[in-house]
Structure 1
Amino acid sequence: MIHKIFTSPINMVVKIGEKVKEEVDREFYDLEHIQQKLIHLQMMYELGEIEDDAYKQQESELLIRYEIAKKREMEQIEEMTKRNKK
């Protein structure tokens, strides 16, 4: 009983941290979200709302995130395929 009193707040913080990490990963590595950001960035550039250097930097960062997200997606598919074969 005393053990639960002391560990309960810690467990709650851990669960909140895990949930935050899931949301950040989803936001950071969601392919659709990244594609939307790239489209929005392109529109801003074409409308002259963003400078060339800033556009190139942001585009580069988004493309790197896209590449990582795609790689993670492929790894998940491979993992699921391996599990289904067993």
Structure 2
Amino acid sequence: MIHKLVTTPMNLVIKVGEKVKEEADKELYDLPTIQQKLIQLQMMYELGEISEDAFKEKEEELLIRYEVAKKKEFEQWEELTKKKD
């Protein structure tokens, strides 16, 4: 009984932490979100709202995130197809 009283709050904290990480990963590696941010970035650059250096820096960051997201998507697809076989 005492064991449950001690471990239950810890388990809850772990579950909340896992959910926060999951949501953060979704935001960071959501392909449509990244694509939209790339479009917005391009528009800001073309309108002169940001410098070329700032544009290149942010574009590189977004392209890396896009690449990681595509890799994750491919890995998930492979995992799903393996389960069906």
Band the TM-score falls in, shorter-chain normalisation: over 0.9
* Aligned mates of 2:52, 2:42 — CA distance in 1: 11
Could you give the per-residue CA deviations for residues 30-71 of structure 1, whole angstroms, max 9, x where no partner exists? 101100110111111111110000000100110010011001
Deviation, 1:8, is 1.2
Q: TM-score scaled by structure 1? A: 0.95
Aligned-pair Cα RMSD in Å: 0.7
Partner of 1:84: 84
Q: Any idea what SS the aligned residue of 2:49 has?
A: coil
Unaligned runs of 5+ in 1: none
Task: Map 1:20-59 to 2 at 5 A.
Answer: 20-59=20-59
Q: TM-score scaled by structure 2? A: 0.96
State how many pairs are aligned. 85
Spell out structure 1 runs of 4+ moving beyond 2 A: none
* Aligned mates of 2:61, 2:23 — CA distance in 1: 19
